[in-house]
Structure 1
Amino acid sequence: MKSSFDAEIWYWRGPAPFYFVNLPEPDCAELRELAKEVSYGWGMIPVHARIGDTSWETSLFPRDGRYALPLKSAVREAEGLGDGDSAHFEVAVQVRSGRWV
Structure 2
Amino acid sequence: MRIRFTASIYEWAARRNWFFVDVPPEPSADIADRPRMPRGFDSVRVTATVGTTTWNTSIFPGGGTYALPLKAAVLKAEGIGRGDEITVDLDVHDG
Tell me the TM-score normalized by structure 2: 0.92
Partner of 1:61: 60
Q: Which runs of 5+ in 1 are unaligned?
A: 97-101
Query: Is the Cα–Cα contact under 8 Å of residues 45 and 93 in structure 1 kept in the other structure?
Result: yes
Question: Relative contact order, CA 8 A, sep 6+: which one is greater?
Answer: 2
What SS is found at the alignment partner of 1:58? Answer: strand
Query: Is the Cα–Cα contact under 8 Å of residues 12 and 18 in structure 2 kept in the other structure?
Result: yes
State the Cα deviation string for residues 19-64 of structure 1 (Å, max 9, x = none). Answer: 0000111101101102x31551111000000001000000001111
Tell me the TM-score normalized by structure 1: 0.87
Equivalent pairs, count: 95
| Structure-2 separation of matches of 1:26 and 1:53 | 26
Partner of 1:24: 24
Residue 78 of structure 1 aligns to which amino acid in structure 2?
Answer: A
Query: Is the Cα–Cα contact under 8 Å of residues 25 and 64 in structure 2 kept in the other structure?
Result: no
| Structure-2 separation of matches of 1:30 and 1:43 | 15
Q: Pairwise mapping of residues 1-101 of structure 1 onto structure 2 (< 5 A)? A: 1-15=1-15, 17-34=17-34, 36-96=35-95
RMSD of Structure 2 on Structure 1 (CA): 1.4
Partner of 1:99: none
Query: Is the Cα–Cα contact under 8 Å of residues 6 and 88 in structure 1 kept in the other structure?
Result: yes
| Structure-2 separation of matches of 1:48 and 1:39 | 18
Query: Is the Cα–Cα contact under 8 Å of residues 29 and 64 in structure 2 kept in the other structure?
Result: no
What SS is found at the alignment partner of 1:37? Answer: coil
| Offset, 1:13 | 3.2
